[in-house]
Structure 1
Amino acid sequence: MEDKKYDVFVVHCNNSDDNNFVQNNLMPWLKQQNLKTFLSDEDLLPGSEILPGITRGIHQSRKTLILLTEESLKSQWCTFEIIVAFEKAQRENQMSVILLLKGVDKEKLPKNGVLQAAPSIEVLESDTWKDTLGKYIREEISIPMILQNGNVAHGLVWSHFTGLLDPILPHLDEMIQETDVYKSNGSCFPIVLYELIPEDCRLGLLPSKGSNGNITYVASTKLKITNRAGNEREYELRIFSLKDQNDGKEYFFIADQPFVLNTFRHVEDDNGEDEETTQRNLNLNVARFCYTMQMILDHPEMKRQWKGNRARLVQYCDGGKESVEDILLKAIKEDLAIYNREKIDWFNSGLYREEQSYDYDAYICAFKEDIEEEKKITEFLERHDVSVAEGRSANMLGNTHLIGKSRWLIFLLSKAAMHDPEFTLEWLGTLQEVLNKGHTLVVPVILEEDREYGIPEVLRWVTYIQKMEGDQDNYMQRILKTIQGGPVPMDIKSYLPAGNVAYGLALGYVKNYLNLILQDLNSAFNKCSEPCQRHFYILLPRSCKCKNTLEEENDHCIVTKHDTILLYTAPNGRKYSCDMYKLVSGQGRNKIDYILGLYAAPVLCLYQMIMIHIGGLKEEEMYKQRQEFSTILYGMLHTQLGDKANLCRFVEFDGTRLFYTTIVYYSMPLGNREKWEEYAHVIMITTTFGTGVADGRAKWSPVAHWSHSKMTAGQAILDAIKREGQN
Structure 2
Amino acid sequence: MAEARRPGDDSDEDTSPSGSDWKDCDVAIFYKTDEPFRIEKTILNYFNRAEIKYVRPGLSNLVGSSEYKNIAKAIQNSKKTLLILSSNCKSIDFSLETYLALERCLQTGRLSLMVLMIDGLTIRDLPDIPFLQQATQMILVDNYHERCMETICKALKREVQLNKLLPAGNFAVGMAWSHFSGYLKKILPELAQRIQKSDVFQNNLGRMSTVFFMLCPLSAKGRPNIEDADPDVKNMGKIEWTKDGRPYSPTVYKVKGKNEKGIEEEYLCCAEYPNALCALALIAEEALNLFTPQQRRIEVERFRYKLEEILNHSRNTDCLGRARVLMFDDEAKGRSNSPSSVLFQAVRGAIEETMLRPLSDKPESPLAQAKCRVDVCFLYSDTEGGGESRWGHSKNPDDKTIHKIRAFLEDKKVRCSIARPPADDTAVIEERVQEARWVCCLMSPYSIKQKKFIEFWLAALLNKCIEENQLKIVILLKDIDSSYIPNFIRWVTYIDITNEPSSEERIYDIIKGEVVHLKSQVPAGNVAFGLAWAFHVNYLRHVLPDFSDRLNQRMEEDDIRKRKAVKECRLSQHFLQIIPKSCDFKPLLNLVDDRISEPFYLKPVVRQISGTERKFSCKLYRIEGEKYDYYFAGEMLTPVNTLSEMNKSMIAGLSKNQMYEQCDALVEQLKAILDSKATPEEMHNKCRCITFDDAKRKLADVIMDEIDKEMETDNMTKYAEWLKKQ
- Preserved contact between residue 188 and residue 322 of structure 2 (Cα < 8 Å): no
The number of residues matched between the two structures is 412
1:69-80 equivalences under 5 Å are none
> Is residue 262 from structure 1 mapped to residue 308 from structure 2 by the alignment?
no
Q: Does 2:172 match 1:153?
A: yes
Given residue 716 of structure 1, which amino acid in structure 2 is its aligned partner? V
Residue 551 of structure 1: CA displacement? Answer: 2.0
Q: Does 1:283 align with 2:297?
A: yes
* 1:293 and 2:307 matched: yes
Residues 615-667 of structure 1: CA deviation (Å, up to 9, x unaligned): 231111100110111111112212122462311132211313xxxxxxxxxxx
Amino acid across the alignment from 1:543: S
Aligned to 1:500: 526
Distance (whole Å) between structure 1 residues aligned to residue 539 and residue 326 of structure 2: 23
User: Does 2:192 correspond to 1:186?
Assistant: no
Post-superposition shift, 1:499?
Answer: 2.9
SS at match of 1:243: strand
Q: Partners of 1:4 and 1:310 in 2: how far apart? A: 42
Structure 1 residue 326 and structure 2 residue 344: aligned? no
In structure 1, stretches of 5+ residues that fail to align are: 6-59, 64-87, 95-130, 227-231, 344-457, 462-486, 657-708
The one-letter code matched in structure 2 to 1:562 is: F
Cα displacement (A) at 1:240: 0.4
| AA aligned opposite 1:290 | R
State, as a whole percentage, how many aligned pairs show the same letter.
23
Any residues of structure 2 matched to 1:113-152 within 5 Å, and which? 137=95, 140-142=98-100, 143-144=103-104, 148=167, 150-152=169-171
| Shift in alpha-carbon separation, 1:723–1:92, aligned structure 2, 3 A | same
Q: Report the TM-score, using the length of structure 2 for normalisation.
A: 0.50
User: Alignment partner of 1:565: what SS?
Assistant: coil
Aligned with 1:241: secondary structure?
Answer: strand
Which range moved further: 197-206 or 261-270?
A: 261-270
Report whether the alignment pairs 1:633 with 2:648: no
Are residue 566 (structure 1) and residue 584 (structure 2) matched? no
In the TM superposition, what whole-angstrom CA distance separates every residue of 1:422-446 from its partner, at most 9, and x where no partner exists? Answer: xxxxxxxxxxxxxxxxxxxxxxxxx
**Residue pair 1:199, 1:315 contacting (<8 A) in 2 also:** yes
- Could you say if the C-alpha distance between residues 270 and 644 of structure 1 is closer, same or farther in structure 2, counting changes exceeding 3 Å? closer
Q: Contact 2:192–2:322 at 8 Å: present in 1 too?
A: no
Change in Cα spacing, 1:270 to 1:306, as seen in structure 2 (3 Å) is closer
- Does structure 2 retain, via aligned residues, the 8 Å contact 1:541–1:653? yes
What residue number does 1:315 align with?
328
Distance 1:721 1:223, change over 3 A: same
Residue aligned with 1:548, SS: coil
CA contact (8 A) 1:233 1:577 kept: no
Q: Could you tell me which of 691, 701, 710 is aligned with 2:697?
A: 710
- Contact map agreement 1:578 1:598 (CA 8 A) in 2: no
- Aligned partner of 2:708 in structure 1 is 722
Contact 1:540 1:651 survives alignment (8 Å): yes
Report the CA distance between 1:525 and its aligned residue. Answer: 1.7
Q: Aligned to 1:331, what secondary structure does the other structure show?
A: helix
CA distance, structure 2, for counterparts of residue 185 and residue 293 of structure 1: 30
Q: Distance in 2 between matches of 1:192 and 1:332?
A: 8
> Is contact 2:170–2:526 with CA below 8 Å preserved after alignment?
yes
Closer, same or farther: CA 606–248 of 1 in aligned 2, 3 Å: same
**C-alpha displacement at 1:139, in angstroms?**
7.8
- Rounded Cα–Cα distance in structure 2 between residues aligned with 1:288 and 1:213: 29
Cα distance change, pair 621–715 in 1 and its aligned pair in 2 (3 A):
same
Displacement of 1:161 after TM fit? Answer: 1.4
Per-residue CA shift, 1:553-582, capped at 9, x if unaligned?
867x24212235313524555334234334
Give 1:340's aligned residue: 355
Number of the residue aligned with 1:66: none
Amino acid across the alignment from 2:538: N
Distance 1:496 1:551 in 2: 34
> 563-572 or 518-527, which moves further after superposition?
563-572
C-alpha distance in 1, partners of 2:263/2:289?
45
Deviation of 1:538 (Å):
1.4
Alpha-carbon spacing, 1:606–1:460, altered in 2? closer, same or farther (3 Å) = farther
State yes or no: 1:218 paired with 2:236: yes
Partner residue, 2:252: 239
Q: Which has the higher helix share?
A: 1
Residues 294 and 313 of structure 1 are in contact (CA less than 8 Å); yes or no, is this contact kept in structure 2? no
Change beyond 3 A, Cα 1:61–1:203: farther
Quick check: 1:253 aligned with 2:269? yes
Do 2:587 and 2:635's aligned partners in 1 also have CA atoms closer than 8 Å?
A: no
Whether the aligned pair in 2 keeps the contact of 1:201 and 1:265 (CA below 8 Å) is yes
**Equivalent residue number for residue 612 of structure 1:** 649
- 2:239 aligned with 1:200, yes or no? no
Q: Counterpart amino acid of 1:524?
A: R
Partner of 1:301: helix, strand, or coil?
coil
Aligned position for 2:436: none
Counterparts of 1:577-616 in structure 2 under 5 Å?
577-587=616-626, 591-616=628-653
CA distance in 1, matches of 2:706, 2:234: 49
Show CA shifts across 1:76-126 (max 9, x none): xxxxxxxxxxxx99x9899xxxxxxxxxxxxxxxxxxxxxxxxxxxxxxxx
Note if contact 1:540-1:652 (Cα within 8 Å) is conserved in structure 2.
yes
For the 8 Å contact 1:518–1:644, the answer to whether it is kept is yes
Q: Report the secondary structure of 1:192's partner residue.
A: strand
Q: Which amino acid aligns with 2:307?
A: M
Q: Is the 8 A contact 1:565 1:580 kept in 2?
A: no
Q: What's the CA shift for 1:170?
A: 1.0
Query: 1:660-671 to 2 correspondence within 5 Å?
Result: none
Distance 1:189 1:168, change over 3 A: same
> Is 2:683 aligned against 1:644?
yes
Instruction: Give the Å deviation of 1:314.
Output: 3.8
Q: Aligned in 2, Cα 1:272/1:519: closer, same or farther, shift over 3 Å?
A: closer
TM-score (norm 1): 0.50
- Is the Cα contact below 8 Å between 1:578 and 1:597 reproduced in 2? no
